[in-house]
Copies of this chain bind each other. A is one copy, B any other.
Amino acid sequence: MTKSMEKPRAKKRSKLTESRDLGCSYARFGPDQPLKLDCGQDLSPLQVAYQTYGTLNEDKSNAVMVCHALTGDQFVANTHPITGKDGWWGLMVGPGRPVDTDRFFVICANVLGGCLGTTGPSSIDPDTGKPYGLTLPVITVSDMVRSQVMLLDHLEIPKLLCVTGGSMGGMQVLEWVAKYPDRVASAIPIATAAKHSAQNIAFHEVGRQAILADPEWHGGDYTVAGTSPSKGLAVARMAAHITYLSETALHLKFGRNLQDRDSLTFGFDADFQIESYLRYQGSTFVDRFDANAYLYLTRAMDYFDLAADYGGTLAAAFRGIQTRVCVISFTSDWLFPTSENREIVRALNAVAANVSFVEIETDKGHDSFLLDVPELFATVTGFLNSAAVQHGLKG
């Protein structure tokens, strides 16, 4: 695919009205604007649910796109409408934060294939009047970004100051940089990889099989059947959650501590705190996430292999880009280890791109990008300020 083959659309607002529902905004694209998917099919209609923070300046030079991870959503920095909890990146995005919403206009869209307002497997298929379920075409990270480009056109923003995100969010960032470099002045991919590893595919497959093994999944038609594959989804979440942490973090946080008891019970209750914690993670996740969306999004991550779109050479993906890139990894991240982040850096260096790389020492594992890691905030603050100056944004 050639760079920027999807040019900014004509600067007119979609005729489809936006509505409020989850407390966020929606962009709707009708039959005249189908989303061309990697699988070859057109997806239409398309709805993209998104949240914004701050104000777009006059010359539209202060827009920052945040791409969320597998189980994230557009509620970056405000109260989640379902859980009532704070936004997942409130430490990073907000007034006075590294991505300062007093200065930047922040956009985050729920990803394509997700379950919080953007078209996904739980959306109604207009042809049947029922949820798509598994009849929704399999989508890719590239498709996700394509829908975000449509949103950017809809918002009439020609170029982003920055695009950033961690994990699956980082994959979207790489996709933006490779396919739409003219629309991104700078990028911060965090704790990610240019392709999903065999081990990561393996963990995803376990999660998917846990969902598929749940008889309440009903071939994906659980909504119609009036059931919920929550047990399978909870197991999937539990397996994945372990990979988001580090062994050291688990040891320090839980070790072999017992949960509300003084001694082993010689039974199968959650004797250990780590068991209780995991069960809680599983049980709360199912309240805010859709099992089919979990299948689609894990599949999208597994399919991600940026170099494959460029003849197998990752550097070719970045040839000629002017985007400034800052790659960030964490020492204790074993899901997206530094070595995989370094591959991105090497590829960018190979084409003499403007790239900096920061490996942050922390024992918090992959989830570090979501946590209170001062060096992460300092890095983003510094890079973003520099990028803003370069981009012509005033003080």
Contacts and interface: CB of A to CB of B under 8 A. Distances in A.
Interface of A: 38-39, 134, 137-138, 195-199, 201-203, 205-206, 208-210, 212-215, 231-232, 234-235, 238-239, 242, 245, 247, 250-251, 253-256, 264, 266-268, 270-272, 274-275, 278-279, 282, 295, 299, 302-303, 305, 334, 337
A247 B201 contact: no
Nearest to A41: B266
Given A198-B255, A214-B213, A238 B268 contact: no
Contacts of A209: 234-235, 238, 278-279, 282
A372 to B, nearest CB: 21
18 contacts: A137-B266, A138-B266, A195-B256, A197-B247, A197-B250, A198-B253, A198-B255, A199-B242, A199-B251, A202-B250, A202-B275, A205-B272, A206-B239, A209-B238, A209-B278, A235-B235, A247-B334, A264-B303
B203 A242 contact: yes
A234 B254 contact: no
Contacts of A196: 256
A144 B226 CA distance: 46
Given A201-B275, A213-B231, 20 more contacts: A39-B266, A137-B266, A138-B268, A198-B250, A198-B254, A198-B255, A198-B256, A199-B250, A202-B242, A203-B239, A205-B238, A205-B270, A209-B235, A209-B278, A209-B282, A210-B210, A212-B268, A213-B234, A239-B239, A271-B302
B205 A275 contact: yes
A274 B205 contact: yes
A209 B272 CA distance: 14
Contacts of A267: 138
- From A39, A196, A253, A268, residue with most partner B Cβ within 10 Å: A268
Contacts of A232: 213
Contacts of A197: 247, 250-251, 256
Nearest to A139: B266
**Centre residue among A199, A251, A302 by max chain B CB count within 10 A:** A199
